[in-house]
Amino acid sequence: MNEEATLQYQYIEKAKLIIAQKAKDKGSPLTCCVQTFGCQMNARDSEKLSGILKAVGFVEIEEENADLVIYNTCTVRDNANQRVYGRLGVLNGYKKKNPLMKICLCGCMMQENTVLDKIRSSYRFVDLIFGTHNIFKFAELLVRMYEADEMIIDIWKDTDQIVEDLPIERKFHFKSGINIMFGCNNFCSYCIVPYVRGRERSRKPEEIISEIEGLVADGVVEIMLLGQNVNSYGKKLENPITFAELLRRIERIEGLERIRFMTSHPKDLSDELIEVMKNSKKICKHLHLPLQAGSDRILKAMNRCYTKEQFVELALKIRREIPDIAITTDIIVGFPGETHADVLETIDVIKTVKFDNAFTFQYSKRTGTPAAAMENQVPQEEVTRNFDELLAVVQQTAREQALRFEHQTLDALVEGINEHDSSLVTGRLSNNMIVHFKGCPDLIGKIVPVYLKECKGFYYLGEMK
């Protein structure tokens, strides 16, 4: 264990004493609630927060009227920020009734100065703020928070540290995300992630493998390798290794059943990766390949480093090599200067590649990014019109694609009981589609063959075989 991790374990011991004393005064254990906004990366970070909170003696609950609430925030689009501000008001109401209550904020939004200023001036009731780079200091920050009477703010500009071996509390016992790299160097012109997550750095393959082995020993059957651009994994390590080679090594881990990864930048997707995916027994038949836009002019302004033709060629090559793969994507509508003709180019790609699904976003102006300073911002009515037109094509294509698998029997990993009908369980297919079928709770975490009886557009109704 490195020095920093050892130090944090000392803080965990210290925090334990503080929390135990408070629980004694209260007459029951202290409760905490961790809320995640944003992507899988943040969800994994939240598991690290939960791990520390549990280790120091908190009991985690779902409700936000807990003794400690922490929001792990996202700032990729403005609506994520607005949700945080809205809900902070509600938290203040709880805090007025519970003098023990502490409110903490962390994550991507906190890396922005404008946000910090706003919280300092208008949300004085917040107790602790930290960012994305010092999350490994959470135990230490907790101690500082309980020892101080004023708002603690600790934000780092960047870090090259990767601190391993701290406690993690997983949300699911059978599947887990795993960071393989942090940060991003791509600077797509609309995107704030490189500014709030710092420069790209990869974890060592040995650390990743040993983490996965530990998870598998603990009952995990499916893993999701996480990075903003997994295809550039390992290039800058002391002993460079490709992402495809990392996958080969992970494939050999006995007991591991399924491997997923996110996200693949099209510019770096290698033939070696396609080959590994094609021959793998464990890598899921799903590739998330963000397109963002189909017009060359817009792609260039976005700094995506590929053309429409290159993207289509790549996607069709993948479809040829791995016919039963599902390809999903991200699309932005309303980037500065985007015309209806540009949107038609994007629609053309959707129809050609036949995405199995797409996350579609309206462009959101992020302060500090090059696109925010561009003059030709698109009026909202135009964005809405283009967005609706494009979304209809995405949905139509997705429905048609889903029909491909109807009447097949495929393996599903059972993830939980159906929310609306408790006689059904919900499973995830290798291609990331969802199937509901009759089954009991003890199937959760198991992979079972399911006949896909009926396609309902974005999910299936099935029967266990």
**Residue 197 interacts with ligand F3S (CB under 6 A)?**
yes
* Binding span for ligand SAH by CB under 6 A among 8-16, 205-213, 245-253, 363-371: 363-371
The set of residues, in sequence order, having a beta carbon less than 8 Å from that of 26 and lying 6+ positions away, is 67, 100
Q: Name residue, tokens 């011991």.
A: 13
Closer of 198 and 462 to ligand SAH (Cβ) = 198
**Residue 29 interacts with ligand SF4 (CB under 6 A)?**
no
Interface residue with ligand SAH among 258, 265, 286, 436 (CB under 6 A) is: 265
Enumerate residues 307-336 that contact ligand SAH by CB under 6 A. 330, 332
**Residue 39 interacts with ligand F3S (CB under 6 A)?**
yes
Long-range CB contacts (< 8 A, 24+ apart) of 14-17? 14/139, 14/143, 15/56, 15/57, 15/139, 15/142, 15/143, 15/146, 16/55, 16/56, 16/57
Q: Of the candidates 399, 405, 397, which has an alpha carbon nearest to the alpha carbon of residue 435?
A: 405
* Binding span for ligand F3S by CB under 6 A among 55-63, 192-200, 311-319, 457-465: 192-200
**Residue 75 interacts with ligand SF4 (CB under 6 A)?**
no
Q: Of the candidates 415, 387, 370, which has an alpha carbon nearest to the alpha carbon of residue 174?
A: 415
Kind of pairing, strands 68-73 and 102-107?
parallel
Interface residue with ligand SF4 among 53, 142, 191, 293 (CB under 6 A) is: 191
- How far apart (Å, rounded) are the C-alpha atoms in residues 434 and 458? 8
**Residue 31 interacts with ligand SF4 (CB under 6 A)?**
no
Closer of 8 and 42 to ligand F3S (Cβ) = 42
**Residue 266 interacts with ligand SAH (CB under 6 A)?**
no
Q: How far is CA 152 from CA 113, 143, 268, 352, in A?
A: 15, 11, 41, 52
Enumerate residues 396-415 that contact ligand SAH by CB under 6 A. none
Measured from the CB of residue 138, what is the shortest distance to ligand F3S in angstroms? 17
> Residue 358 forms beta bridges with which residues?
329
Q: How far is CA 251 from CA 217, 247, 265, 430, in A?
A: 15, 6, 22, 15
* Binding span for ligand SAH by CB under 6 A among 47-55, 93-101, 358-366, 445-453: 358-366
Alpha-carbon Rg for the chain in angstroms: 23
Closer of 232 and 397 to ligand SF4 (Cβ) = 232
Count of residues engaged in binding ligand SF4, rule: CB under 6 A? 10
Closer of 129 and 262 to ligand SAH (Cβ) = 262
Closer of 39 and 383 to ligand F3S (Cβ) = 39
Measured from the CB of residue 362, what is the shortest distance to ligand F3S in angstroms? 15
- How far apart (Å, rounded) are the C-alpha atoms in residues 113 and 129? 12
Kind of pairing, strands 286-288 and 326-333?
parallel
Q: Of the candidates 428, 421, 422, which has an alpha carbon nearest to the alpha carbon of residue 445?
A: 428
Interface residue with ligand SF4 among 36, 132, 176, 229 (CB under 6 A) is: 229
Q: Which residues bind ligand SF4 (CB under 6 A)?
A: 184, 186-188, 191, 193-194, 228-229, 265
Q: Which residues bind ligand SAH (CB under 6 A)?
A: 76-77, 190-191, 193, 228-229, 263, 265, 290, 292, 330, 332, 361, 363-364, 366
